[in-house]
């Protein structure tokens, strides 16, 4: 899904998951971390800036953290530029 979003022109993608100890799917957050590491390697191979994809552990009770992460992601996009793959108006 992350690669599809980038292919369709997303400037960045946030992968947000629960904290390891709070994951209702028992191993979902750990699997996300493992897959994220593989994804970062693939992005490098494809020549896509790894800063375009970010993994964060955020609970539903952490609105200030969510706000901070989104602002940082927007700043990253401003620094590296819009996606060269999508259509922008």
Asked whether the beta carbons of 51 and 13 are under 8 A apart, the reply is: no
13 domain residue, yes or no: yes
The stretches of the chain forming alpha helices (DSSP H) are 2-7, 28-46, 63-80
Tokens of 76: 């990253």
- In a domain? residue 85: no
Does 88 map to a domain? no
Residue 66 within any structural domain of the chain: yes
Reported as a single tens digit per residue, the pLDDT across 44-87 is 999 999 999 999 999 889 999 999 999 999 999 999 999 887 66
- Residue 51 forms part of a structural domain: yes
This prediction's pTM: 0.84
Question: Does residue 30 contact residue 24 with C-beta atoms inside 8 Å?
Answer: no
CA proximity to 6, closest of 67, 38, 37, 47 = 47
Residue 14 falls within a domain, yes or no? yes
Query: Could you give the maximum distance between any two Cα atoms of the chain, in Å?
Result: 42
Is 33 inside any structural domain? yes
Number of domains in the chain: 1
Per the structure, the complete domain to which residue 32 belongs is given by 2-80
């Amino acid at each position: 899904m992350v690669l599809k979003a980038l292919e369709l022109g997303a400037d960045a993608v946030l992968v947000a998951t629960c904290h390891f100890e709070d994951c209702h799917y028992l191993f979902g957050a750990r699997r996300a971390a493992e897959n994220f590491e593989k994804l970062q390697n693939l992005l490098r191979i494809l020549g896509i800036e790894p800063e375009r994809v970010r993994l964060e552990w955020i609970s539903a009770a952490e609105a200030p953290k969510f706000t901070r992460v989104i602002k940082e992601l927007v700043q990253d996009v401003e620094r590296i530029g819009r996606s060269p793959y999508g259509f922008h108006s």
